[in-house]
Amino acid sequence: MNKRIVIVGGGVGGTMLANQLVGKLYPEILRGAVSITLLSNCPDHFYKPAFMYVAFNQFFEEELKRPERSLLRPEIAFQVEEVTAFDFVGQHLKTRSGKRFDYDFLVIATGCVPAPERIEGLKEAGDHFYQYQPARQLAQRLSTIEKGRIFITVSFPHTPNVPHQCGIAPVETTLMLDDFLRRRGVREQVEIIYTYPTVAQLMRNCLFLQRPTGDVLPAVFAQKNIHHQRGFTLSRVDADAKIAYSAEGDAQPFDILMATPPIRAVDAVLESGVSQAANNEGWLPTNHETLQVYGLEHVYVIGDTVDLPVSKAGGACHNQAPVIANNIAAEIRLGAPNTVYDGRVQAVAQMGLNAGMPLWYDYTHDVLPTPPTRLGGLLRNGFNRGLYWAVARGLL
């Protein structure tokens, strides 16, 4: 009997995994024993990590997208369908167009979405770079400010041990901002304040979600005259007065509020009834090793929808995809999963407009910061300008 694998989500996790599954299960696909379908709510695939560069006028929309079909192996059935409901008992999905898709194995790769409306006033007064249009709006503000105060703030999910989207991004964009304003010749007239909440994943009163990196940041910031403050947990924003208030009782004025906003899972996941996450955030209960959803047969999750203590970033998907591909293949061929995810995440952090810093960590090892270099910057630029598309195709 044909085993139907359905992947929901056309981001880097879903795309990479679909292509890797074809390679892993090619003999079964050739003889019609396995089929792979990928569903996405958009015909295009966006390179989302580059949205932060949009905020500094380094990328435009057409450079950051490809037709999703062009990234997929021909053996994969691709349909533009928005999934609106999961029936895990009946093992099928329903879409907005009214179609039904049955599955034997399901992978949820639906990512997460910014939710600034979850903090009073943030949607009206804050700027972020996690989507294209907000990043373009931020670029307009950063390109025209002549003097004033740019206040940077980070909001974590309420769910214990779950980080915000792309853990290093607030640090990256703070250092990129310093370079950007210097190039504009207005840096001396603009004050930059970087803040971090009191509780950040497993740590308290830090500047980053892992101690080794947090420990080196004060010296880096001091060198660039970037002010920093621990223990600022954004609670509300007065959009008219342009003041950010913290849960700790602080109040900070701003001319630009550059925020890492709250995040949540997509509506279909929120409404599935499976998540046990706090504050209706929707993260799925994920087996740390196999990446299966606890309590569900033959259902896996990859990327930003997991409740794991690892960065919600493409560097996590890169290591999760082969684990899920191996485990689905093992379930089909052997009857049980056989591969373990160690929590590995890797990336090249953008430490200013030209410098880069390779980083990696896993469940048991924190990031070990190294000095940023121009070579690291060239490596990141090469990834941005071409290597990413090879990764999405499952070639790297």
- pLDDT band, residue 344 (cuts 50/70/90): very high
Domain 3-111+266-344 has CATH 3.50.50.60: yes
Q: Distances in Å between the alpha carbon of 214 and those of 36, 48, 267?
A: 43, 25, 34
Residue 312 has pLDDT above 90, yes or no: yes
CB 269 within 8 A of CB 282: yes
- CA angle 264/114/270 to nearest 5° reads 25
Query: Which residues are paired to 113 by β-bridges?
Result: 264
Distance between alpha carbon 112 and the CA centroid of its chain, in Å?
A: 7
Mean pLDDT of 322-329: 98
The CA-CA-CA angle for residues 303, 375, 390, to 5°, reads 40
In the chain, what are the domain boundaries? 3-111+266-344, 116-262
* Crossing angle between the packed helical segments 211-223 and 169-184, to the nearest 10 degrees: 10
The reported pLDDT for the residue numbered 13 is 97
Q: What percent of the chain has pLDDT over 70?
A: 100
Fold (topology level) of 116-262: FAD/NAD(P)-binding domain (3.50.50)
How much is the average pLDDT of 173-183? 97
Q: What's the confidence (pLDDT) of residue 19?
A: 98
Say how many residues make up the chain. 396
- Nearest CA to 343 among 289, 301, 293, 283? 289
Most distant CA pair in the chain, distance: 69
Query: Do the Cβ atoms of 300 and 292 come closer than 8 Å?
Result: yes
- Full-model pTM: 0.95
Q: What pLDDT, on the 0 to 100 scale, is given for residue 238?
A: 98
In the structure encoding, which two tokens stand for residue 235, read together? 């609670």
Q: Note the pLDDT of residue 369.
A: 87
pLDDT recorded at residue 107: 98
- d(CA 319, CA 303) in angstroms, rounded, equals 10
Task: Check residue 146 and give its pLDDT.
Answer: 98
Helix (H, G, I), strand (E, B) or coil at 251: strand
Q: Which residue has the tokens 């009782």?
A: 249
**Contact by Cβ (8 Å): 84, 95:** yes
Residues 6+ apart with CB under 8 A from 117: 123
pLDDT of 395 strictly over 90: no
In angstroms, rounded to a whole number, what is the distance separating the alpha carbons of residues 192 and 228?
Answer: 8
pLDDT score for 248: 96
The whole-angstrom separation of Cα 357 and Cα 305 is 26
State phi, psi for 238 to the nearest 5 degrees: -90, 100
- Compute the average pLDDT of residues 295-320: 96
Q: What is the pLDDT of residue 233?
A: 96
Look at residue 213 in the predicted model and tell me its pLDDT: 87
> What pLDDT, on the 0 to 100 scale, is given for residue 69?
98
Task: List Cβ neighbours of 101 (8 Å cut-off, separation of 6 or more).
Answer: 6, 37, 39, 81, 92, 93, 95
pLDDT for 202: 73
Our CA angle for 100, 277, 39, nearest 5°, is 25
Instruction: For the chain, give the mean pLDDT.
Output: 95
What's the pLDDT tens digit per position in 227-283? Answer: 999 999 999 999 999 999 999 999 999 999 999 999 999 999 999 999 999 999 999
Smallest Cα–Cα separation from 259: which of 373, 395, 114?
114
Which band of pLDDT confidence, cut at 50, 70 and 90, is reported for residue 92? very high
DSSP state of 386: I
**Matching fold, domains 3-111+266-344 and 116-262:** yes
